[in-house]
């Protein structure tokens, strides 16, 4: 029996090789996984032309995945430097990489990225349109926008961010409800500007069926972008954001009718107390589709530390049911991230994802923490390094400050609680002021 997409296969009762691999990774029964894919609650972004892909599942009951944004810009257009970041991101176990290139040889970078990456690859085709056609935004036609999506699909992109929810009605809601930071989504602002300049409907909304044709042909997952995501805590959960979410829910059902896999992108900036409600709204209004969020960034006043503000929000969001976290680096709002910025962003986001998995009782999550606790109790430093989310940093910190007694550290020395409890509970004496017996 043939199938077009992972969702089509699941609905026909077919277990694909991608489902089998994800089932083993997640320790989930493959029949359960297949049913979740059929319902749209789990996706496996896996373009038929991405030959190096090691597939991952995203959605209900699975580990929270993380995405790393990379790509060249007009001010920073060194392809080799970006590919170095790609290699590092893969080594650091990022499950997804989004190519956000917006200038120059985007096709060369994208093709090399797809060829080398076992991680799933995402793009925002509208970023590429201006450079692809060497035309001003206003002069690009709806047909040309779709051709760029088709090109990315042919190249092997696993998911595409499409800002189809900011239609003319959503735009009117935005105009009537003033914001501090207007539209901060880069892709969303480009679509809004195109609509205003041409006095026309959003081409991706108007030609949504043609977009689904492309996604169905290559099994490209549709990541429905949040053009109206809040760019400040003041703008969170406002009329524009919720109106767009309503449209995204309707588009989700239309995509599922064509067996096209969907995830929903979410905010953005918001205070801690709004995160749970936002997750509930997305899951309700978008029918349980996987939720992919940037942050949320929980305060606006920490440039240079937004990997922390994002990790706080991301951990909470994941614990409430978010499925996919987009990393945020210390360079957010300031510059294109350096290699070191990227590393810090990945680690912060992986911590947030794992903390969220503990909160929603994902199978296997607590076992990792329990193993670390046992290693700490046993003062097994090598095992601690092996289990650490960042083994390199853990090893470096210990090496930089070695204790007099190898079964302790330079914080506590012979007052180490682990050391002393081990001795006392095994019937031994504790010597604080002299050498051990």
104 pLDDT higher than 90: no
Distance (Å, whole) CA 120 – CA 96: 5
CA dihedral in degrees (216, 14, 119, 93; nearest 10)? 150
Determine the pLDDT at residue 365. Answer: 97
Determine the pLDDT at residue 274. Answer: 98
Determine the pLDDT at residue 423. Answer: 87
Mean pLDDT of 357-384: 96
Under 8 Å between Cβ of 178 and 238: no
Mean pLDDT of 373-402: 95
Residue (of 358, 331, 355) closest to 345 by Cα position: 331
Determine the pLDDT at residue 102. Answer: 75
Q: Report the range of poorest mean pLDDT among 3-17, 46-60, 72-86, 418-432.
A: 72-86
pLDDT band for position 108 (cuts 50, 70, 90): confident
Determine the pLDDT at residue 29. Answer: 98
Cα-based distances in Å from 99 to 313, 318, 378, 386: 24, 23, 44, 31
Cα-based distances in Å from 185 to 34, 108, 188, 228, 388: 34, 25, 5, 7, 35
Q: Which residues pair with residue 99 across a beta bridge?
A: 70, 123
437 pLDDT higher than 60: no
105 pLDDT higher than 80: no
- pLDDT tens column, 125-178: 999 998 888 889 999 999 999 999 999 999 999 999 999 999 999 999 999 999
- Which tokens in the block code for residue 86? 């790609």
User: Which residues are part of a known binding site for [4Fe-4S] cluster?
Assistant: 409, 412, 416
436 pLDDT higher than 70: no
Determine the pLDDT at residue 63. Answer: 98
Name 23's Cβ contacts closer than 8 Å, sequence gap at least 6.
29, 30, 33
Q: Where does the chain hold its CATH 3.20.20.540 domain(s)?
A: 64-359
Question: Cα Rg for the chain, rounded, in angstroms?
Answer: 24
User: Which residues are part of a known binding site for Zn(2+)?
Assistant: 269, 333
Mean pLDDT across the chain, nearest whole number? 95
Q: How many CB atoms lie within 10 A of CB 368?
A: 14
pLDDT band for position 412 (cuts 50, 70, 90): confident
434 pLDDT higher than 80: no
Distance (Å, whole) CA 145 – CA 203: 8
394 pLDDT higher than 70: yes
Under 8 Å between Cβ of 231 and 181: yes
Which residue stretches of 286-405 are H helix?
A: 306-320, 339-359, 365-377, 381-387, 391-400
User: Which residues are part of a known binding site for substrate?
Assistant: 69, 98, 127, 163, 185-187, 226-229, 265, 292
Determine the pLDDT at residue 252. Answer: 98
Distance (Å, whole) CA 366 – CA 355: 10
pLDDT band for position 406 (cuts 50, 70, 90): confident
206 pLDDT higher than 90: yes
Q: Which CATH superfamily is domain 64-359 in?
A: Radical SAM ThiC family, central domain (3.20.20.540)
User: Which residues are part of a known binding site?
Assistant: 69, 98, 127, 163, 185-187, 226-229, 265, 269, 292, 333, 409, 412, 416
Name 180's Cβ contacts closer than 8 Å, sequence gap at least 6.
231, 232, 234, 235
204 pLDDT higher than 60: yes
Token pair 């609905």: residue: 11
- pLDDT tens column, 294-326: 999 999 999 999 999 999 999 999 999 999 999
381 pLDDT higher than 70: yes
Under 8 Å between Cβ of 86 and 117: yes
Task: Give the up-direction half-sphere exposure of residue 66: CA atoms within 13 A in the CB hemisphere.
Answer: 29
């Amino acid at each position: 029996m043939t199938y077009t997409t992972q969702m089509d296969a699941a609905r026909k009762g077919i277990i694909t090789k991608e489902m089998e691999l994800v089932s083993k990774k997640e320790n989930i029964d493959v029949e359960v996984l297949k049913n979740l894919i059929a319902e749209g609650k789990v996706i496996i972004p896996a373009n038929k032309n991405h030959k190096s892909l090691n597939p991952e599942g995203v959605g209900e009951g699975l580990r929270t995945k993380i995405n790393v944004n990379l790509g060249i810009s007009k001010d920073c257009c060194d392809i080799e430097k970006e590919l170095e970041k790609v290699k590092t991101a893969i080594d650091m176990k990022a499950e997804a990489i989004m190519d956000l290139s917006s200038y120059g040889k985007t096709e060369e970078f994208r093709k090399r990225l797809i060829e080398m990456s076992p991680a799933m690859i995402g793009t925002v085709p509208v970023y590429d349109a201006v450079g692809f056609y060497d035309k001003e935004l206003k002069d690009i036609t709806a047909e040309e926008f779709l051709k760029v999506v088709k090109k990315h699909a042919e190249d092997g992109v696993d998911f595409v961010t499409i800002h189809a929810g900011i239609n003319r009605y959503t735009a009117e809601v935005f105009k009537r409800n003033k914001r501090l930071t207007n539209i901060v989504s880069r892709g969303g602002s480009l679509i809004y500007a195109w609509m205003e300049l041409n006095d026309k409907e959003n081409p991706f909304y108007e030609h949504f069926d043609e977009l689904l044709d492309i996604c169905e042909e290559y099994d490209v997952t549709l990541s429905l972008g949040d053009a109206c995501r809040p760019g400040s805590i003041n703008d969170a959960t406002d009329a524009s954001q919720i109106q767009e979410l309503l449209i995204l829910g309707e588009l989700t059902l239309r995509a599922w009718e064509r067996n096209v896999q969907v995830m929903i992108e979410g905010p953005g900036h918001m205070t801690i107390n709004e995160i749970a409600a936002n997750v509930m709204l997305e899951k309700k209004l978008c029918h349980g589709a996987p939720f992919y969020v940037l942050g949320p960034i929980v305060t606006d006043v920490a440039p240079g530390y937004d990997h922390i503000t994002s990790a706080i929000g991301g951990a909470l969001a994941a614990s409430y049911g978010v499925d996919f976290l987009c990393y945020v680096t210390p360079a957010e709002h300031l510059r294109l991230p350096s290699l070191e910025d990227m590393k810090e962003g990945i680690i912060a986001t992986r911590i947030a994802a794992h903390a969220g998995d503990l909160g929603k009782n994902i199978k296997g999550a607590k076992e990792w923490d329990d193993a670390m606790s046992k290693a700490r109790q046993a003062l097994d430093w090598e095992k601690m390094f092996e289990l650490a989310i960042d083994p390199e940093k853990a090893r470096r910190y210990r090496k930089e400050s070695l204790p007099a007694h190898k079964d302790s550290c330079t914080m506590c020395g012979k007052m180490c609680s682990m050391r002393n409890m081990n001795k006392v509970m095994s019937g031994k004496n504790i010597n604080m002021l002299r050498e051990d017996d």
